[in-house]
Amino acid sequence: MKQKLIAAARDAAKNAYCKYSNYRVGAALLAEDGSIWLGCNVENSSFGATNCAERTAVFSAIAAGKHKFSAIAIVGGSDENPATPCGICRQVLAEFCPPDMPVYFAGLEGGDISTTTIGELLPLAFSGAKL
């Protein structure tokens, strides 16, 4: 599944709209029912309106009614310096994904796949009031 998710993330990266940074990122989020939700970064001339690949994938899945996830793959950057989720994406992932959920990441063109977890990416995540 790790390889399949990374391949899906690589496909998604092809759709990145990254005319300002020229930094292509793709994400593939595995829902508990086996469905895979893709994301790419979508930039904007007002830079702060940019949406990262990870959040695009999470928001697509949520919009389709999926709420339980079991893994995510992210591709971007190089084999030596692969993309890892930004702070905002870590918080968004922590909202919907369990702390022990695997996060796979690799460079855009291939090379080693590294594995971490949501909890390692954002320890002591803020979760607000327990509603």
Q: Which residues bind ligand THU (CB under 6 A)?
A: 18, 21, 23, 25, 41, 43, 50, 52-54, 74, 76, 83, 85-86, 89
CB of 129 to ligand THU, least distance (A): 29
Give the residue among 84, 65, 69 at the shortest CA–CA distance from 36.
Answer: 69
Asked if residue 70 lies in contact with residue 29, where contact means CB atoms within 8 angstroms, the answer is no
Q: Does the annotation mark 120 as catalytic?
A: no
Smaller CB distance to ligand THU: residue 24 or 66?
24
Min. distance of Cβ 52 from ligand THU in angstroms? 3
Among 41, 42, 37, smallest CA distance to 8 is for 37
- Between 55 and 66, whose beta carbon lies closer to ligand THU? 55
Residue 115 backbone phi and psi in degrees, to 5? -130, 135
Query: Residue 76 CB, nearest distance to ligand THU (Å)?
Result: 6
Contact between 83 and 115 (Cβ < 8 Å): no
Enzyme catalytic residues = 54
